[in-house]
Amino acid sequence: MNIALFGYGKMGKMIEQIALDRGHKIVAKIEVDTKEIDFSQMDVAIDFSMPSAAYENITKCFEHKVPVISGTTGWLDKFEEAKKICTDNDSAFIYASNFSLGVNIFFELNQYLAKMMKSLDQYKVSMEEIHHTRKLDEPSGTAITLAEGIINNSDYKGWKLENAAENEIPITAKRIGMTPGTHSIDYTSKVDSIEIKHTAHNREGFALGAVIAAEWIKGKKGIFTMKDVLNLG
């Protein structure tokens, strides 16, 4: 399959390595905003760029009917517009705040736990995410997906990084060294705590998930999620 990489930083390079190992060809590596892109050879585009660049990269691909796998976080204020442009152009799209298999299982576990905790008022939820010091956005996209998973299955109404109200989930974002990505959710009462945690040991899981998603989307039209790709029901 011919893959175009939008963004050739830490993730772009890791994705290239995995895609080549799986027999794919990299037909473009785009690192800056440019008008001279040849879309004709692309079967799928994978965007791991920057919050400020993702929307334009993704929508340009849709206009050329190139399916997109998007992993860039911090641009979701334009998500609905991007989905509309995908549909209008009969293209295909998967966005995931986290492409790793482990985190996608963790998303399911988080929702299941939130449902069980819903009626237990004595427990208060909180979340912590830790990433490397070069990360541009906070909280992480993964933390936002986790917070939405709790909100959709409980009486919590939102999330906040600081000064969370009683019905909001407090999120602490820490930036430490080279940390690839650690997310934990804690339910604490006066007598005990329950904690679930996912720790990425490196970036390989994110990159493999993105390449698997690219293989899966080839030839499809529409808007999908990693739940579809991984058959998580």
Ligand X SMILES: O=C(O)C1=N[C@H](C(=O)O)C[C@H](O)C1
Ligand Y SMILES: NC(=O)C1=CN([C@@H]2O[C@H](COP(=O)(O)OP(=O)(O)OC[C@H]3O[C@@H](n4cnc5c(N)ncnc54)[C@H](O)[C@@H]3O)[C@@H](O)[C@H]2O)C=CC1
Q: State the binding site for (S)-2,3,4,5-tetrahydrodipicolinate.
A: 132, 141-142
Tokens of 3: 């893959």
For the stretch 47-51, contacts whose Cβ atoms lie closer than 8 Å and that sit 24 or more positions apart, written own/partner, are: 47/6, 47/7, 47/71, 47/72, 48/5, 48/6, 48/7, 48/9, 48/11, 48/12, 48/15, 48/72, 48/210, 49/6, 49/7, 49/9, 50/7, 50/136, 51/75, 51/136, 51/137
Instruction: Using the minimum distance from each CB to ligand Y, give the nearer residue, 7 or 149.
Output: 7
Residue 98 near ligand Y by CB under 6 A: yes
By rule CB under 6 A, what string of x and - marks binding of each residue 77-96 to ligand Y? -------------------x
Is 124 a catalytic site residue? no
- Taking CA 99 as the corner, what is the angle to CA 109 and CA 102, rounded to the nearest 5 degrees? 40
Of 20-28, 60-68, 135-143, 208-216, the segment contacting ligand X by CB under 6 A is 135-143
Q: At its nearest, how many Å lie between ligand X and the CB of residue 131?
A: 5
Q: Which does residue 131 touch among ligand X, ligand Y, none (CB within 5 to 8 A, set by kind)? A: ligand X
Of 1-9, 87-95, 138-146, 187-195, the segment contacting ligand X by CB under 6 A is 138-146
Q: Are 72 and 55 in contact (CB under 8 A)?
A: no
Q: At its nearest, how many Å lie between ligand Y and the CB of residue 85?
A: 17
Residue 79: is it exposed, middle or buried by C-beta count within 10 angstroms (0-12/13-18/19+)?
Answer: middle
Contact footprint for ligand Y (CB under 6 A): 6-12, 30-33, 48-51, 53, 57, 71-74, 96-99, 206
Contact footprint for ligand X (CB under 6 A): 73, 97-98, 131, 135, 140-142, 181
